[in-house]
Amino acid sequence: MVDHLVHRRKPASFRRLGARSTVLAGLFLLGAASPAALSAQHGTDGNFHDLFARKTASSEPQEPVTIETRTTAESRAGVRRLRIGDFQYLSDSERDYAGYDLGAGSWDTFAAVLGSAVADEFVTQAAIAKIPVNSIDVIFTSRPDTPEVAKTHKVSYPRNLAYVAYIDSPASDAQLDALRKAVDQASSVLGIVREPVPLAHGTVNLTASPAKRDPNLPPGLRDFLVEKRTAILRRRQRAADAARSGTPRPPSAGLRAHARVDPATGIRLTRTGGHVILHDGWRRPGESPRAPSVEQHIIGVLGTCLTHIFEVQAAQKQIVLDGVELRTRATLVPRSTSGPARFRDVSYSVDITSPEPAARITELREAVEGSCPIYNLLKDSQGIESRVVRGPYRETPS
């Protein structure tokens, strides 16, 4: 039985992107690359007074919002290009996994989005509570489970999530702790991780391509998958050699993302995995955002991770693919007097171009959904530890 599979004659065409299109992961294309520079651009002295005023005026959505993202496996490079409106992020692997490290991978990006979401929610909740703040930094981390945890043998994804918020404020300890609790309860991005998401099978739209590729065409995605398979086999061989020799595996450092709020604009600059990712907040009608929101990006990370695992599983199973374009969709129900903002109706569909029969593509989709880290993370539920440290964040010398 082939369920959720639709045949199409032509792949969907790309929508032309606007002039504000940017690549925000790997290549940080913003002239003002520090909070101080952003504040200077806007003529402020670096305090949060004007930002709090805008937050209390509520620029957030007042009605349910549909979030749509699109991720494309980019031909011979295999890099995942995520489009959110008129903005773009690149998600890539390291060179030993057949990537070029052009952008943060899905795991690093996931940590960055959560750290940025926490920082943004601290701004919102401080504005609501009228708590004065001088600076907000958030360190978001994930530590791997020990091998004894049974779930790690089924599917691997970021675990043991935690954040530390560094808040420079004259508020009392009790006020800051109440602020932390309000953030934990109100954040829609933390909520989608803490609460299991009912994710149905993705819909696959299959377009047939020739079994033998035109030799006059440049190398494409099927060529990338050959290199990806080689990288996967090399990784397995290294692990097997280490196991035979008794060489202990080096401990994983886990994930770490550092988000800092610009007090003039509310923009968060988040460093993760050697890359910088930019997020903005929702804007009032007529105002243009400088980057996607974290609510949009968390749905986008689901897309980049699924797209990468389509590549990984196709390479392992030697399934020929000539094109993968994956779309994610969700509805964000805004916060109201009855409760915090929450996501609903999260789903994905994927356009695949391949000479393979439908049964093989269905097999591929099932393997992807059984192993995709972010897909399974969202389907499960996870706790997130949190604490607040009074005072400005100071980088510890390495």
Give the N- to C-terminal CA distance of the chain in Å, as an integer: 56
Give all strands of the β-sheet with 161-168 in edge-to-edge order.
275-279, 268-272, 255-261, 135-142, 161-168, 384-390
What tens digit of pLDDT does each residue of 283-292 get?
A: 777 778 899 9
**Mean pLDDT for the chain overall:** 87
Q: pTM for the complete prediction?
A: 0.88
Of 230 and 42, the structure prediction assigns the larger pLDDT to: 230
Range with the lowest mean pLDDT among 167-176, 286-295, 355-364?
A: 286-295
What is the DSSP pairing of strand 65-74 with strand 323-333? Answer: antiparallel
Contact by Cβ (8 Å): 372, 343: no
What tens digit of pLDDT does each residue of 33-76 get?
A: 454 555 445 444 457 888 888 877 666 788 999 999 999 999 99
Q: CA–CA separation, 139 vs 116, rounded Å? A: 9
pLDDT level of residue 245 (50, 70, 90 thresholds)? confident
Please say if the pLDDT value at position 28 is more than 70.
no
Please say if the pLDDT value at position 342 is more than 80.
yes
Please say if the pLDDT value at position 346 is more than 80.
yes
Q: CA–CA separation, 136 vs 165, rounded Å? A: 7
pLDDT level of residue 146 (50, 70, 90 thresholds)? low
Per-residue model confidence (pLDDT) at position 230: 96
C-alpha dist (Å) from residue 341 to 136, 163, 274, 360, 388: 22, 20, 31, 39, 23
Instruction: State the residue for tokens 């909520």.
Output: 191
Region 363-372 average pLDDT: 97
Residues of the chain with pLDDT > 90: what percent? 70
